[in-house]
């Protein structure tokens, strides 16, 4: 017996419920393991269990149990045990008996620390995992999400190539390093991101995921991490010691702190919509099938296309998601969350999450994929999909309208987009320019995927042209423009993100795009080797002109608040499209010192044609801040009104400055 509470081992009668909704709800936020030097408390929710025991181990893998004991049944479906004494460092699992059968051992869905491969939980003192100065650590203050510039990266990709100069390649600590350089002395890592000018990093899944064998890290392995195992513990393959649960926690915090010290916020990619293996998941070892959405015949529904989907609309799953997200925000100081296949979750849950996060950190930001991979039993009106974004509060969605309008269809690999000269895409691009909001000059019938505005405010739209999914931007343009020269591909590439970085909404960049990142034609590299996924930092030197261009575009966006207006009303008032009678030439102006911009007027041209064009510039003196060669908020050159040439596949942006009236 390891607990001081007297725990009867008598068999409880199986409890059955007509529906999952009839199961009791547990309100307190104390499920899982609570540690102090005097005692460790175990709590688990399972209204259907007949018996629950905790098994204690000295090791995270292998070996035999040192002892075990039964938990006591409490109210509202909760089982608990208090183990007196200081047991820091010990490993544990739960085992439940349901319907007369003992289920598999599990660390429990609330496990905050786990050993190698996540099979056993670990008792840790979280205070000891805090880096020096952690109590004063804070992310950047965000006035409006439209001021953010998000950069999506994978922990391993950024530092695994020798050219990164990292002492901890592929690890959390690799991302925490400053002062790293390439053999030719170009900045890498955090210093590179500061030089580029982004405001937030979006880290691909770094919770504990299944597909990497952490006991064999000396062997080649790779995965993006969209196969959740333990939602509340960091992934062990990115730690220097995957066997010690405290090590991965401490090193994750050191990574976050390093970003914060350099003025960069940290956004975590989360995957609550499905689990790696429904049958063997910790969820199903606690309350079989409760946490999953089921078809009428009790089989798993599969809107994730991964074999199962979770049921965020059930009370204890909603509670779990809210508490899990809050835990990452509070314990790890995470500044935002990106939800994979957010459309599988219900609107109420997403709103609850956003509300909770705002109470913890007013600068927090929530966004996700506003779609599902396939159909779901969840009614369409309740799904957190693009069409329901107006029902969401402080939650944004990705604009696939803008993405495919700019570069071409994600699924039609040979299909071109606006930047590669495809006609008929201008209205989709214009829709992205106003951040998917209502604007009287948009012809919604001509937008590729949406027939109406789906964002209440520009803060609800993530504009992007590439991410980890599908081809890199460079590879997509090569695939769809087989006869184009390297110079033409580069021009299209620069134009694509010139559009993103000077449109309203929240801009999003894929790691390495600023140096023409390639995955050598591999479309979805989720388990491809490092040779495909790694960032070659020598690309930065080879494509220095492209890097400088992206850096300049970010400087332009930061220098001109008119490109990041926080409200739809402001966009409607200040942004006007100028008819061109040419669907490969978009022209618009932002007048009147919009959003307190120093420029009284900004004139924007995007030429998607593979040929140069002549454009008319109104009278007066204009400063060129973006053209086909450079981007500089201080100006590239001055021109006067009249007819001017805009190069093929390029942007031309001009400003006039007068005192605000």
What gap in Å lies between CA 392 and CA 177, rounded to an integer? Answer: 37
Do 597 and 561 meet the contact criterion of CB atoms below 8 Å apart?
Answer: yes
Reduced to 3 states (helix: H, G, I; strand: E, B; else coil), residue 283 is helix
Residues 6+ apart with CB under 8 A from 421: 584, 608, 609, 610, 649
Measure CA of the first residue to CA of the last residue in the chain; give whole Å: 79
146-277+312-564: same fold as 20-105?
A: no
Backbone angles phi, psi at 489, to 5 degrees: -60, -45
CA angle, 164 then 168 then 170, to 5°? 75
Return phi, psi of residue 655, to 5°: -135, 150
DSSP 89-119: T-EEEEEEEETTEE---B--TT-S-B-GGGS
Does the pTM of the predicted model rise above 0.95? yes
**Residue 271 main-chain phi, psi, to 5 deg:** -130, 70
HSE-up of residue 128 (Cα within 13 Å, Cβ side): 14
**Does the CA dihedral 362-363-364-369 come out positive or negative?**
positive
CATH T-level assignment (fold) for domain 20-105: Immunoglobulin-like (2.60.40)
Per DSSP, the three-state class of 466 is: coil
Would you tell me how many other CB atoms lie within 10 Å of the CB of residue 87? 16
Smallest CA-to-CA distance from 368 within 206, 508, 158 is with: 508
Residue 211: how many CA atoms within 13 Å on its side-chain side?
16
- 313, 340, 400, 597: the active-site residue: 340
Query: CATH assignment of 146-277+312-564?
Result: 3.20.20.80
User: How does DSSP assign 572-622, residue by residue?
Assistant: HHHEEE---S-TTEEEEEEESSGGG-SEEEEEEEEE-SSS-EEEEEEEEEE
As a whole number of Å, the CA-based R_g of the chain is 26
The two three-digit tokens of residue 457, written as one number: 């405010």
Alpha-carbon distance of 226 to 274, in angstroms, equals: 9
List, in order, residues 6 or more apart from 362 with CB less than 8 Å away.
Answer: none
Contacts of 399 (CB under 8 A, 6+ apart): 432, 435, 436, 461, 462, 463, 464, 505
In sequence order, what are the residues at sequence separation of 6 or more whose Cβ sits closer than 8 angstroms to the Cβ of residue 209?
223, 225, 226, 227, 228, 229, 235, 276
CB 426 within 8 A of CB 583: yes
Burial of 637 (0-12, 13-18, 19+ CB in 10 A): exposed
Is 120 within 8 Å of 60 (Cβ atoms)? Answer: yes
- Does residue 426 have an active-site annotation? no
CATH of domain 573-657: 2.60.40.1180
Cα 531 to Cα 520: distance, rounded to the nearest angstrom: 9
Question: What are the residues whose beta carbons fall under 8 Å from the beta carbon of 552, sequence distance 6 or more?
Answer: 626, 630, 631, 632, 633
340 is catalytic: yes
Catalytically annotated residue among 69, 235, 251, 369: 369
Which uninterrupted H or E stretch holds 260? helix 245-261
Rounded distance, CA 139 to CA 398, Å? 23
pLDDT of residue 8: 41
Chain-centroid distance, C-alpha 454: 20
pLDDT tens by residue, 294-323: 999 999 999 999 999 999 999 999 999 999
Do 182 and 203 form a contact (C-beta atoms < 8 A)?
A: no
CB 376 within 8 A of CB 301: yes
Length of the chain equals 661
Supply angle C-alpha 47, 50, 55, rounded to 5: 100
Q: What is the per-residue pLDDT for 2?
A: 62
Alpha carbon distance 266, 152 (integer Å): 10
* Domain definitions of the chain by residue range: 20-105, 146-277+312-564, 573-657
Helix, strand, or coil (residue 165)? coil
Unique residue bearing structure tokens 């309008």:
405
CA 356 from centroid of its chain's CA atoms: 18
- Dihedral over Cα of 309, 463, 193, 523: its sign: positive
The answer to whether 266 touches 218, Cβ cutoff 8 Å, is no
How many Å is the maximal CA-CA distance in the chain? 91
pLDDT tens readout for residues 526-583: 999 999 999 999 999 999 999 999 999 999 999 999 999 999 999 999 999 999 999 9
Report the alpha-carbon distance of residue 432 to residue 651 in Å, rounded.
16
- Reference 26, options 83, 77, 99; nearest CA is 77
Residues 6+ apart with CB under 8 A from 614: 643, 644, 645, 646
User: For the chain (length 661 residues), average pLDDT per consecutive 10?
Assistant: 44 76 96 98 98 98 96 97 98 97 98 98 98 98 98 98 98 98 97 98 98 96 98 98 98 98 98 96 98 96 98 98 98 98 98 98 98 98 98 98 97 96 98 98 97 98 98 98 98 98 98 98 97 98 98 98 98 98 97 97 98 97 98 97 98 83 36
Tracing tokens 């939650």 back to the chain, one arrives at 395
Whole-angstrom distance, CA of residue 120 vs CA of residue 60: 6
């Amino acid at each position: 017996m390891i607990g001081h509470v007297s725990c009867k081992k008598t068999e409880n009668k199986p409890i059955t419920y007509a529906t999952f909704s009839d199961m009791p709800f547990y309100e307190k936020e104390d499920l899982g393991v609570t540690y102090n030097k005097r005692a460790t408390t175990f709590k688990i929710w399972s209204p259907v269990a007949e018996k629950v025991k905790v098994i204690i181990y000295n090791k995270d893998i292998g070996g035999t149990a040192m002892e075990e004991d039964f938990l006591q049944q409490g109210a509202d479906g909760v089982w608990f045990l208090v183990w007196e004494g200081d047991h820091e460092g010990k490993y544990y699992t739960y085992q439940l008996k349901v319907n007369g059968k003992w289920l598999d051992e599990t660390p429990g869905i609330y496990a905050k620390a786990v050993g190698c491969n996540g099979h056993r939980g670990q008792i840790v003192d979280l205070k000891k995992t805090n880096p020096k100065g952690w109590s004063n650590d804070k992310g950047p203050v965000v006035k409006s999400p439209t001021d953010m510039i998000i950069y999506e990266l994978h922990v391993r990709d950024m530092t695994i190539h020798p050219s990164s100069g990292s002492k901890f390649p592929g690890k959390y600590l690799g991302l925490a390093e400053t002062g790293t350089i390439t053999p030719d002395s170009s900045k890498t890592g955090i210093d590179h991101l500061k030089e580029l000018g982004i405001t937030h990093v979006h880290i691909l899944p770094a919770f504990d995921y299944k597909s990497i064998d952490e006991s064999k890290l000396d062997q080649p392995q790779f995965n993006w991490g969209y196969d959740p195992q333990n939602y509340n513990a960091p992934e062990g393959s990115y730690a220097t010691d995957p066997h010690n649960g405290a090590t991965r926690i401490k090193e994750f915090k050191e990574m976050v702190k390093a970003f914060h010290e350099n003025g960069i916020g940290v956004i975590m990619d989360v995957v609550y919509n499905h689990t790696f293996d429904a049958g063997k998941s910790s969820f199903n070892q606690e309350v079989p099938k409760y946490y999953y959405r089921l078809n009428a015949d009790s089989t798993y529904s599969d809107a994730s296309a991964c074999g199962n989907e979770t049921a965020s609309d059930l009370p204890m799953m909603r509670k779990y998601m809210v508490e899990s997200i809050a835990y990452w925000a509070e314990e790890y100081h995470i500044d935002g969350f990106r939800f994979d296949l957010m459309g599988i979750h219900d609107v109420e849950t997403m709103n609850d999450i956003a509300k909770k996060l705002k109470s913890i950190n007013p600068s927090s930001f929530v966004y996700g994929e506003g779609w599902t991979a396939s159909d779901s039993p969840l009614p369409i009106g309740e799904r957190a999909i693009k069409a329901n974004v107006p029902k969401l509060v402080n939650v944004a969605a990705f604009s696939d309208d803008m993405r495919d309008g700019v570069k071409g269809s994600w699924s039609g690999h040979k299909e071109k987009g606006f930047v590669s000269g495809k006609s008929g895409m201008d209205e989709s691009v214009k829709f992205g320019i106003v951040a998917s909001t209502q604007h009287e000059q948009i012809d919604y019938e001509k937008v590729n995927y949406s027939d109406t505005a789906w964002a209440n405010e520009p803060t609800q739209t993530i504009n992007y042209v590439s991410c980890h999914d599908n081809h890199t931007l460079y590879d997509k343009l090569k695939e769809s423009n087989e006869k184009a020269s390297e110079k033409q591909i580069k021009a299209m590439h620069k134009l694509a993100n010139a559009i993103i970085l000077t449109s309203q909404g929240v801009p999003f960049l894929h790691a390495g795009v600023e140096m023409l990142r390639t995955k050598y034609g591999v479309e979805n590299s989720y388990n491809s080797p490092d040779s495909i996924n790694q960032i070659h930092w020598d690309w930065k030197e080879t494509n220095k002109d492209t890097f400088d261009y992206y850096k300049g575009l970010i400087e332009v966006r930061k220098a001109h608040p008119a490109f990041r207006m926080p409200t739809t009303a402001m966009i409607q008032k200040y942004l006007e499209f100028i008819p061109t009678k040419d669907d490969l030439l978009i022209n618009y102006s932002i007048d009147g010192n919009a959003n307190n911009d120093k420029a009284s007027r900004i004139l924007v041209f995007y030429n998607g044609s593979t040929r140069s064009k002549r454009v008319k510039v109104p009278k007066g003196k204009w400063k060129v801040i973006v053209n086909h060669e450079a981007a500089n908020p201080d100006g590239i050159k001055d021109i006067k009104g009249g007819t001017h040439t805009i190069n093929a596949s390029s942007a031309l942006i001009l400003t006039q400055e007068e005192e605000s009236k």
